[in-house]
A and B are shown apart, each in its own frame.
Chain A
Amino acid sequence: MSAFAATFSDALSLLAHFDHTVLEIVALSLQVSGAAVLLGTLIGLPLGACIAVGRFPGKTTLSVLINGMMGLPSVVVGVVVYLILSRSGPFGALGMLYSPAAMVVAQTLLVVPLMAAITRQVVEDVWARYAEELQVMRFSWWDSVTTLLHDCRHSLVVAVLAGLGRAMSEVGAVMIVGGNIDGATRVMTTAIALETSKGDLALAIALGVVLIVIILALNALAYVLRQWAMRRFG
């Protein structure tokens, strides 16, 4: 058996036997990225909708800024969060550095611009069609935002998924602020990077397979949900 096949076989064996290390890393990854996406949804979706509906000076500049921040390098975010949470930083007293909470903060900062930018685009298109009627009905600015977010909810699944994809696949920020500590802050991406550098490719491949399966499953779920919603609500 070739070395590649043997490594792959070992990886599948780890998965088949529900290896404790694999499960622990996957669980922490889901917790950290799930929390970041939840926060990102609570912040990014209303933020994007507010930019879409609002009329204020600097709206175009803010839209361009948010769009530009979609491609924010994760290592830069990692360094910024590190500086903020380090002992000498403004939030150093919280003692969050090298904890899952710090990783959540970093990933939230990464996903908020992405989710806000997608939401702004989706809501802006709908707002262009509905604005007159909502204004005639004397909808307040905030009521318009909530109504449009509700109306676009199926399309905004894309924004949430994009955020989840970004959060789960990034490695730079969580590596810097989490420290990749075994049993504490080691997530799938940092573990894959570490195990590959150590030569333990079986664990790296096993985690890679899990990562890909999760992303594919979520996208499939979103596709099914969207198809159902299109049939149900048009």
Chain B
Amino acid sequence: MPIFPLSIHDLRFAPDGREVLAGVDLELGEEGITLVLGPNGAGKSVLLRTICGLLEPSAGRMAWGGAGGARPQQGVMMVFQRPMMLRMSVLDNVALGLKPLGVAGAERRRRGVEMLERVGLADRAGDSARQLSGGEQQRLALARAWLTKPRLLLLDEPTASLDPSASAAVERIIREIRTDGTRILMVTHNLGQATRLGDDIVFMAGGRVCEHTPVRAFFARPRSEEARLFIQGELPWRMRFQGA
């Protein structure tokens, strides 16, 4: 089932009447890494959860693969800020993603070993996943998602609370996943990371997409006042005062 282009029109999410997404419009083509930036409470993570089907939008529509296509059953994966680490080995945790696809146990393990080699965790295959460091756990989570060969990968702040070297390792894997043909939509608060990884930027504030532009253009000439203030580090403060 085709996934791209993914067209999102007037997407709204308002639990208990409070609008978290207030009419999001977004177009995603089939290649590249799109970074979602914005202040806390802008609706970035909610947008990702809505796209992958964890949240049901209050209104609006998503057209997958062109004219009015429904959400595909496979091909969309998401990696969370604090990924799930089951009480089993690193290898078993990685291979877990293949279980719903009906891949046999031995084949799951074979592919899992290959994937661990790609993310530099082959020597930890037999260790408990919970004994890994934060950066290693995030690499494991990316490997688990990558193993399913998703067409669209949603990443919710995968490097939050990681040190620079662990972040760099995670960024390297994200680039490899992209090179492998996976479209990536990633939330981050790290502007440096946005310039290193992103092809384009989706800037959100107040539950809306304020602008969607190539990375260079975004940082050189932000079109919206909110984006300009955010880059200068003022928007969160200003919004907080306005909210108070």
User: What separation, in Å, do the CA atoms of A3 and B129 have in the docked complex?
Assistant: 60
B4 at the interface (CB under 8 A from A): no
User: What separation, in Å, do the CA atoms of A150 and B99 have in the docked complex?
Assistant: 14
Do B87 and A133 have beta carbons less than 8 Å apart?
no
Do B100 and A234 have beta carbons less than 8 Å apart?
no
User: What separation, in Å, do the CA atoms of A143 and B98 have in the docked complex?
Assistant: 12
B179 at the interface (CB under 8 A from A): no
Looking at A37-45, A134-142, A193-201, A204-212, the stretch in contact with chain B turns out to be A134-142
User: What separation, in Å, do the CA atoms of A234 and B49 have in the docked complex?
Assistant: 28
When A137-B77, A233-B87, A234-B130 are in contact, do A132 and B54 touch as well, CB less than 8 Å? Answer: yes
Do B100 and A233 have beta carbons less than 8 Å apart?
no
A154 at the interface (CB under 8 A from B): yes
Do B54 and A137 have beta carbons less than 8 Å apart?
no
Residues of chain B with a CB closer than 8 A to A229's CB: 87
When A139-B100, A143-B100, A232-B128 are in contact, do A132 and B49 touch as well, CB less than 8 Å? Answer: yes
User: What separation, in Å, do the CA atoms of A160 and B84 have in the docked complex?
Assistant: 26
Q: Count contacts on A: residues with CB < 8 A to the other chain.
A: 21
Residues of chain A touching chain B, judged by Cβ–Cβ distance below 8 Å, are 129-130, 132-140, 143, 147, 150-151, 153-154, 229, 232-234
Do B131 and A234 have beta carbons less than 8 Å apart?
yes
Interface size class of B (residues with CB under 8 A): 20 to 34
Instruction: Please list 7 pairs of residues, one from A and one from B, whose beta carbons are closer than 8 Å in the complex, sorted by A's number.
Output: A130-B86, A135-B53, A136-B77, A138-B74, A139-B100, A233-B87, A234-B85
Closest A residue to B87 by beta carbon equals: A233
**Chief secondary structure at chain A's binding surface:** helix
Do B54 and A233 have beta carbons less than 8 Å apart?
no
User: What separation, in Å, do the CA atoms of A68 and B88 have in the docked complex?
Assistant: 34
Do B88 and A138 have beta carbons less than 8 Å apart?
no
Residues of chain A with a CB closer than 8 A to B85's CB: 234
Residues of chain A with a CB closer than 8 A to B128's CB: 232-234
User: What separation, in Å, do the CA atoms of A138 and B77 have in the docked complex?
Assistant: 9
Do A136 and B52 have beta carbons less than 8 Å apart?
yes
User: Counting chain B CB atoms within 10 Å of each CB, which of A137, A140, A153 scores highest?
Assistant: A137
Residues of chain B with a CB closer than 8 A to A137's CB: 77, 96-97, 99-100, 148
Closest B residue to A130 by beta carbon equals: B84
Do A135 and B86 have beta carbons less than 8 Å apart?
no
Residues of chain B with a CB closer than 8 A to A136's CB: 52, 54, 76-78
- Distance to closest chain A CB from B115 (angstroms): 15
User: What separation, in Å, do the CA atoms of A211 and B138 have in the docked complex?
Assistant: 49
B219 at the interface (CB under 8 A from A): no
When each residue 61-75 of chain B gets 1 if its CB lies under 8 Å from chain A and 0 otherwise, what string results? 000000000000110
Do B87 and A234 have beta carbons less than 8 Å apart?
yes
Residues of chain A with a CB closer than 8 A to B97's CB: 137
When A132-B49, A136-B77, A137-B77 are in contact, do A150 and B88 touch as well, CB less than 8 Å? Answer: yes
Do A139 and B99 have beta carbons less than 8 Å apart?
yes
Do B130 and A135 have beta carbons less than 8 Å apart?
no
User: What separation, in Å, do the CA atoms of A150 and B53 have in the docked complex?
Assistant: 26
Closest B residue to A134 by beta carbon equals: B84
Residues of chain B with a CB closer than 8 A to A233's CB: 87-88, 128, 130
Closest B residue to A232 by beta carbon equals: B128
**Closest 6 pairs between A and B when the two form their complex, measured CB to CB:** A234-B130, A233-B87, A133-B84, A138-B100, A233-B128, A136-B78
- Distance to closest chain A CB from B139 (angstroms): 16
